[in-house]
């Protein structure tokens, strides 16, 4: 058997390779990835391309690891970061740490040549452990779930009492209750280029809630169904609040509750430096799966401050799963 490794930009992929990548996605993840979705996900980024590390066995594509460039602000600088996506090795070819390491290192070297300073992802804990061992990734911090009850069908009008209980509980939180100042040392460049890319990847209706001092993006329909949600519960996801302050966050939850009267629960996934008024932090024992934000420095424009989650504004807008 002869393994061959190549790194290509999205525009350098052949039609046959794109087809093989989408088929490999289905084999590894058990979910569809139409070629049109692949193009929206990887070819419409801020650079007009992503990078793909490919592993072939006797000419057959059996492994891939991709990264999507995104512009970030890092302590006043505008830099290129990259979010990894779709680490895939055919079940028939797994087991070799060396092959996985070669696949990953080829991607990181190509990213550095493109000027990407930091590569990161929000990973399930077991996947993070693989990246730490194989590629020296470091943990930045835990990503948490938050949930606000809106209209729970099994509680009926008593949901109002539950919402009041959540507010009362949150008053005793040890997290800060005042409004944060907004602005984080590390956060995406949230411009129109980012919005045109991020909210056009999936054929999903993203909705906006205009706030007195900002805006929020949320979704109630998802391209990939979320496992474990009861059939009679309508779930919404608060994807982003910008600028992220406590006042804006609380206003976003209240606005969406008015806009979506049939919504059962509004959830948020990310890191918040304050206690929301109407959302409860889901206890760690119920966080399944558990997620760790982690990454690796590629160029010296970024330093160790990147590994402190207190510096980050991180949520579902930073990834590609919804």
pLDDT, residue 28, reads: 94
- How do residues 158-212 score in pLDDT, each as one tens digit? 566 666 666 766 666 666 655 556 689 999 999 999 999 999 999 888 999 999 9
Domain segments of the chain as ranges: 3-142+289-318, 144-286
Alpha-carbon gap, residue 184 to 181, rounded angstroms: 9
Which parts of the chain have pLDDT scores under 50? none
Report the pLDDT value the prediction gives residue 227, as an integer from 0 to 100.
Answer: 75
- What is the DSSP-derived secondary structure letter of residue 147? E
Specify the pLDDT at position 226. 80
Q: Which two tokens stand for residue 236?
A: 């919404």
Q: Fold match between 3-142+289-318 and 144-286?
A: yes
Pick the CATH number of 144-286 from 3.40.50, 1.10.150, 3.40.630, 3.10.110: 3.40.630
Q: What's residue 177's pLDDT?
A: 53
Under CATH, which number does the domain 3-142+289-318 receive? 3.40.630.30
Pairing of strands 291-297, 138-149: antiparallel
Q: What's the pLDDT score for residue 162?
A: 61
Helices within the chain (DSSP H only): 15-29, 35-42, 97-113, 125-135, 159-170, 192-198, 246-259
């Amino acid at each position: 058997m002869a393994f061959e490794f190549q790194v290509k930009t999205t525009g350098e992929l052949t039609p046959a390779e794109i087809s093989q990548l989408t088929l490999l996605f289905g084999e590894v993840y058990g979910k569809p990835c139409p070629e049109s979705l692949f193009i929206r996900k990887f070819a419409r980024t801020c650079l007009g391309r992503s990078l793909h590390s490919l592993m072939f066995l006797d000419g057959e594509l059996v492994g891939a690891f991709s990264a999507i460039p995104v512009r970030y602000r890092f302590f006043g600088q505008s830099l290129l970061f990259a979010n990894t996506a779709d680490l895939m090795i055919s079940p028939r070819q797994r087991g070799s740490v060396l092959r996985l390491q070669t696949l990953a290192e080829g991607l990181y070297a190509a990213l550095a040549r493109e000027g990407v300073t930091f590569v990161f992802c929000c990973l399930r804990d077991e996947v993070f452990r693989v990246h730490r061992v194989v590629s020296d990734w470091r943990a930045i911090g835990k990503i948490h779930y938050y949930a606000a009850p809106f209209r729970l069908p099994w509680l009926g009008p008593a949901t109002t009492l539950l919402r009041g209980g959540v507010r009362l509980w949150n008053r005793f939180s040890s997290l800060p209750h005042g409004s944060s100042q907004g602005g984080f040392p590390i956060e995406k460049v949230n411009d129109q280029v980012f919005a045109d890319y991020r909210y056009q990847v999936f054929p999903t209706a993203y909705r906006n809630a205009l706030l007195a001092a900002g805006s929020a993006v949320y979704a109630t329909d998802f391209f990939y169904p979320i496992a474990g949600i009861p059939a009679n519960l309508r779930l919404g996801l608060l994807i982003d609040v910008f600028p992220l302050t406590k006042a804006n966050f609380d206003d976003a939850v209240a606005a969406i509750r008015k806009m979506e009267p049939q919504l059962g629960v509004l959830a948020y996934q990310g890191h918040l430096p304050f206690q929301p008024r109407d959302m409860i932090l889901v206890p760690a024992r119920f966080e399944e799966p558990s997620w760790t934000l982690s990454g690796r420095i590629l160029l010296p424009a970024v330093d160790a401050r990147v590994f402190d989650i207190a510096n980050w504004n991180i949520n579902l807008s930073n990834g590609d799963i919804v």
